[in-house]
Chain A
Amino acid sequence: MDTFDKGSGPTHGKPFQVALLGNPNTGKTTLFNALSGLRHRTGNYPGVTVEVRKGALKASFNGTDHDIDLLDLPGTYSLAARSPDELLAVDVVTGCFGESSRPDALVCMADASNLERSLYLFSQAVELGVPVVLALSMVDLAAKQGIKVDTRKLSEQLGLAVIAVNATKGTGLRELKAAIIEAALGKVAPNAQMLPEAVKSTQAELAKAWNCHPGFVLRALVDEGGEAEKRLTAQKGATAVAELQAARQKLTTQHQIALPVLEPRCRYPWIRKQVAGTVERSQNNQKGFTEKADRWLVHPFYGTGIFLLIMLFFFQAIFVLAKPVMEWLGELTDGLASWLGGQLGPGPFNSLVCEGVIPGVGAVLVFLPQILILFAFMGVLEDCGYMARAAFLMDRLMARCGLSGKAFIPLLSSLGCAVPGILSTRVIENRRDRLAAIVVAPLMSCSARLPVYVLLTGAFLSQTWWLPGLTLFGLYMIGFVVAPLVAWTLKSTLLAGEKPIFMLEMPPFRVPAVKVVARRMVEAAWEFLARAGTLILASMVVVWALLHYPSTTPDGKYWPEVIEESKGEDRLVLLEQWKSNTILARVSRSLDPLWAPVGWDWRIGAAALASFPAREVVVASLGIVFGQDPEWEETAVGDESEKRLASRLQEAKRADGSRLFTIPTALSLLVFVALCCQCVSTLAVMARETRSWKWPAFTFAYMTTLAYLGAILVFQVGTMLEGWIRP
């Protein structure tokens, strides 16, 4: 659409480097997606938890095509950096980011309905000596609120291109791209004077002395104790620090005002002057809608009630809406397994497919509907503006355990799956707060734990009608209690530091864009399917092999055939003979001293070991170890297969003939599964989001330790209690 002569190729040798800046909630990401389509990748940058996405696009100007490399910066209100994450924006605009050079142009995104505030970042950008284009979003929303911005007049006042864009509808994109090229070719930086002359000259002097970008120097000079100053100290040493202190001292005495708070007090009057006469306001009843809605939605009483109702609906929908699809998917995999079992001749391959791959991957795939619903809800709540209200309502409660109010939704969505939960912690700007939320997210009982909970609770803890529900509730409570405790411990030790500022913009309510929500759902589904297709598949193949080989009896026959030929109860004895000699069983048996305190035998230990890559594997592994061949009881269908495994577990005996699973044993396994970090993809996402292996390693260590200690506690106390009750 942007060009008629697409084949002509670029005329400019190198693509233009363009950075996209803007406040959070201005529709920056939507604009980036609209401009770059699906052709973007994430830039890796050590030490920060935010990502910079890079997109390639073509733009046409004056009949020729140009290539643009567009860098999408994390949303920010100011270039003043107080954490490595925030310094990233400064690095990109000054050309210190990774392999990319100084940008040829900047695109600044501003919200037309909130023009003055969103021009603050713009006012910092125009001083960087790089051409700037101002993209104005939310023009429709502003019009509904009775705010009309005259873009032509604003453009004249500012002396640069101002383009109104609507990324969802696709309007203004072509004009914006042309304006970017024009600015980049023109190489004319805006000329704006906001800060006092003395500050400007000091900035220039220091830039020359240190051979640094003036933009970086300004940050080091103005943000006392900020990240730029820290970097300068690390790179240039004590002399630079002394020069910096002297320069600050001089400016402070000259202007009678502390430097850091001078900047906003200079910029806002400038903004007001530029905007004057370009914004027209009319009375409009739409104006107060958000405010009126907020009277109810953030009301201490009604607001909390509405919030609880929304959350209840959220979870109910995840379970109820997903159930039929999940059942259908479950039947499909069962059907596929038995059909393929018939098609393939007997042998190791048949066993691999029908006992390993299909049940393993199938057990994961059934959660796809839940993931889709979870992300649809998250997308809608976020895009309509409710998410900020939820964070507002929960902030005090979360602050007590050292977390931000914004951590509530990530933790809640970790009840579905910790992977999207960890991804959604991106809304937390403070690094320490975000790390605390990431590290405790896997403690929330995710949906992959549910099959284990249901199986063991059903088999061993349903003597009375209220016991299963209570057990399930208790297992979920473990997460709700332990996660805040761990967060609190972390925030008072490893992640201790000054309390971050909680300032959250409450965006106006609007109808969520279908495109935005759909995109989030598709991205989540792909990530999930890729995981099922790679990690779970691979780990099921490995687990199956470790529990299948050696597969020959001492006299050289194939075990499955021997079992097939035998009749009746013999089969279970033979199965145990076979399985107890397989590789994983040998490993597990050698770890017997480890299992004794928690009351397990090698079989439970093997299942627990096997499920470290993905906890979904635990039920399938129990099935392999305890024998769950559908051919044995042909009448069993659907839910029966679970009951079949349950009865096998109930009948399982120890070497001395006593029951393997007592209530304390079952509970210790349940507690272990509840607390343990048996999920490689969670750890991988954690590594990606924190850009280090330190945090996943820490999480794995502390969760495994907690799980093991918890299991010991439950088993020992449980056995003691059992002794008192039934001496």
Chain B
Amino acid sequence: MTSQQPPFAVEKSLDKWPLQIQGEIVSVEGTDSVACRLLEMGILEGEPIRILGYAPLGDPMEIRLRDFQLSLRLSEAQRVTVRTAPLPVD
């Protein structure tokens, strides 16, 4: 599986990135319960993140952040903006 890591920083919402991209969370949008749940799970500004894969039919997606792996639906992932950066993710 080849990484399509762009050579410079690009910002896009989490659901728009292809596989194996790594980056940093720039923002989590909203103040409702969806935003709260995302934040509570540690999806927070400044966190390194990596996209691990998409389920059949393209939804949900699996990501890695901090020390764990999480799956979430694209409708929720949309809230999260990620900036690609050439830094490795644990």
Query: Are B66 and A114 within 8 A (Cβ)?
Result: yes
A291 to B56, CA, bound (A): 18
Q: What does the 1/0 interface line of B27-52 toward A look like (CB < 8 Å)?
A: 01011111111111110110000001
Distance of A145 Cα from B69 Cα, bound (Å)? 14
Partner of B44, one of A264, A294, A299: A264
B56 touches A117 (CB 8 A): no
In contact, A80 and B36 (Cβ under 8 angstroms): yes
Q: Report chain B residues within 8 Å CB of A77.
A: 40-41
**B33–A225 contact, CB under 8 A?**
yes
Question: Which of A154-162, A184-192, A388-396, A593-601 interfaces with chain B?
Answer: A388-396
Point out the residue from B32, B56, B62, B67 that lies within 8 Å of A294, measured CB to CB: B62
Give the docked Cα–Cα distance between A294 and B64 (Å).
11
How many Å lie between the Cα of A505 and that of B73 in the bound state?
12
- A701 close to B (CB within 8 Å): no
A505 to B67, CA, bound (A): 11
Whether A113 and B52, one on each chain, are in contact in the complex, defined by CB atoms closer than 8 angstroms, is: no
Cβ-defined partner of B67 (8 Å) among A147, A225, A300, A397: A147
Answer whether residue A720 sits at the interface, using C-beta atoms and an 8 A cutoff: no
Given contacts A294-B62, A396-B60, A499-B75, contact A223 B36 (CB under 8 A): yes
Would B64 and A291 count as touching, CB distance under 8 A?
Answer: yes
Q: How far is the CB of A403 from chain B (nearest CB, A)?
A: 13
Given A117-B42, A268-B42, A499-B75, also A395-B90 (CB < 8 A): no
CB distance from B49 to the nearest CB of A (A): 13
Contacts of A396 in B (CB 8 A): 55-60
A209 within 8 A of B: no
The answer to whether A397 and B39 have CB atoms under 8 Å apart is no
Tier of interface size on chain A: 35 or more
B33 CB to nearest chain A CB (Å): 6
Distance of A281 from chain B, by nearest CB (Å) = 7
User: B36 touches which one: A115, A264, A290 (CB < 8 A)?
Assistant: A264
| B36 CB contacts on chain A under 8 angstroms | 80, 223, 260-261, 263-264
CB-nearest residue of chain A to B53: A298
Q: Residue-by-residue, is A283-303 near B (CB-CB < 8 Å gives 1, otherwise 0)? A: 000010011001100111101
Contacts of A116 in B (CB 8 A): 42, 66-67
Candidates B52, B53, B67; contact of A117 at CB < 8 Å: B67
Query: Given A294-B62, A300-B54, are A268 and B35 neighbors across the interface (CB < 8 Å)?
Result: no
| Cβ of B1 under 8 Å from chain A | yes
Among A115, A117, A225, A405, the residue within 8 A (CB) of B41 is A117
Q: Are A505 and B69 in contact (CB under 8 A)?
A: yes
User: Does chain A have a CB within 8 A of B70?
Assistant: yes
**1/0 per position for A321-336, CB-CB distance to B under 8 A?**
0000000000000000
Are the CB atoms of B34 and A501 closer together than 8 Å?
A: yes
CB of A506 within 8 Å of the partner chain: yes
B56 touches A506 (CB 8 A): no
Given A294-B52, A300-B54, A392-B62, decide whether A502 and B73 contact each other with a Cβ distance below 8 A: yes
Closest to A264 in B: B39
Q: B57 — which chain A residues lie within 8 A by C-beta? A: 300, 396-397
Residues of B within 8 A of A397 (CB): 57
Q: Contacts A116-B67, A392-B71 known; A501 to B37 CB distance under 8 Å?
A: yes
0/1 per residue, B6-40, Cβ < 8 Å to A?
A: 00000000000000000000001011111111111
| Segment 234-284 of A: residues with Cβ below 8 Å from B | 258, 260-261, 263-265, 268, 281
In Å, the complex CA distance between A467 and B32 comes to: 55
Q: Are A299 and B37 in contact (CB under 8 A)?
A: no
Answer whether A506 and B69 are a contact pair too, CB < 8 Å, given A294-B62, A298-B62, A299-B53. yes
Minimum distance in angstroms from B5 CB to a CB of chain A: 16
CB distance from B54 to the nearest CB of A (A): 7
Q: Chain A residues near B32 (CB, 8 Å)?
A: 224, 260
Beta-carbon contact of B40 and A504 below 8 Å: no
Q: Complex formed: what's the CA distance from A287 to B88 in Å?
A: 14
Whose C-beta in chain A lies nearest to the C-beta of B73? A502
Query: Which of B31, B44, B73 touches A260 (beta carbons < 8 Å)?
Result: B31
Q: Is A84 an interface residue (CB 8 A)?
A: no
Q: In the complex the two chains form, is A503's CB within 8 Å of B44's CB?
A: no
A295 — which chain B residues lie within 8 A by C-beta? Answer: 1, 52-53
Q: Is A82 located at the chain interface by the 8 A CB criterion?
A: yes
Given A265-B44, A298-B53, A503–B37 Cβ distance below 8 Å? yes
Q: Closest CB-CB distance, A588 to chain B, in whole Å? A: 49
Shortest CB distance A82–B (Å): 6
Interface pair B75/A261, CB less than 8 Å apart: no
A359-395 with Cβ < 8 A to chain B: 388, 392-393, 395
Cβ-based interface call for A226 (8 A): yes
Known: A258-B31, A392-B62. A291 touches B70 (CB 8 A): no
User: In chain B, what residue has the closest Cβ to A298?
Assistant: B53
- Inter-chain contact B40/A291, CB cutoff 8 Å: no
Q: Which residues of chain A from 500 to 559 have any CB-CB distance to chain B below 8 Å in the complex?
A: 501-506, 508
Alpha-carbon separation in the docked complex, A226 to B41 (Å): 18
User: What residue of chain A has the Cβ atom nearest to residue B33's Cβ?
Assistant: A82
Cross-chain contact B68 with A304 (CB below 8 angstroms)? no
**Nearest Cβ in chain B — how far from A690, in angstroms?**
23
B31 A261 Cβ-Cβ under 8 A = yes
Contact of A304 among B37, B56, B71, B72 (CB under 8 A): B56
CB pair A294–B69 under 8 Å, yes or no, is: yes
Q: Which residue of B lies closest to A397 (CB)?
A: B57
Kindly state the separation between the CA atoms of A82 and B32 in the bound complex, as whole angstroms: 11
A395-B59, A396-B59, A505-B68 known; A291 and B52 CB under 8 Å?
Answer: yes
Instruction: Kindly state whether residue A49 has any CB partner on chain B within 8 Å.
Output: no
Tell which of B30, B40, B52, B72 touches A78, judged by Cβ atoms closer than 8 Å.
B40
Say whether A120 faces chain B, with CB atoms less than 8 Å apart: yes
Q: How far is the CA of A168 from the CA of B39 in the complex (A)?
A: 32
In the complex, A258→B70 CA distance in Å? 26
Contacts A258-B31, A260-B31, A502-B60 hold; do A395 and B55 have CB atoms under 8 A apart? yes
Q: Are B42 and A120 in contact (CB under 8 A)?
A: yes
The residues of A that contact B42 with a CB separation of less than 8 Å are 116-117, 120, 264, 268
With A and B bound together, what is the CA distance between A253 and B56 in angstroms?
A: 45
Given A77-B40, A295-B53, A300-B55, does the pair A503, B69 have CB atoms closer than 8 Å? no
Q: CB distance A226 to B33 under 8 Å? A: yes
- The complex places the Cα of A113 from the Cα of B68 at a distance, in Å, of 8
Among A116, A281, A506, residue most surrounded by chain B Cβ atoms (within 10 Å) = A506
Q: 7 closest pairs, A vs B, by CB? A: A264-B39, A258-B31, A506-B69, A396-B57, A300-B56, A114-B67, A78-B40
Which residues of chain B have a CB within 8 Å of any CB of chain A?
1, 28, 30-42, 44-45, 52-60, 62, 64, 66-73, 75-76, 90
Q: List 20 A-B contacts (CB under 8 A).
A: A114-B66, A117-B42, A117-B66, A224-B32, A260-B31, A261-B36, A291-B69, A300-B54, A303-B56, A395-B55, A395-B59, A395-B60, A396-B59, A396-B60, A397-B57, A501-B37, A504-B72, A505-B68, A505-B70, A506-B68
4 more contacts with CB within 8 A, not counting A117-B42, A300-B54, A508-B69, are: A116-B67, A225-B33, A503-B41, A504-B60
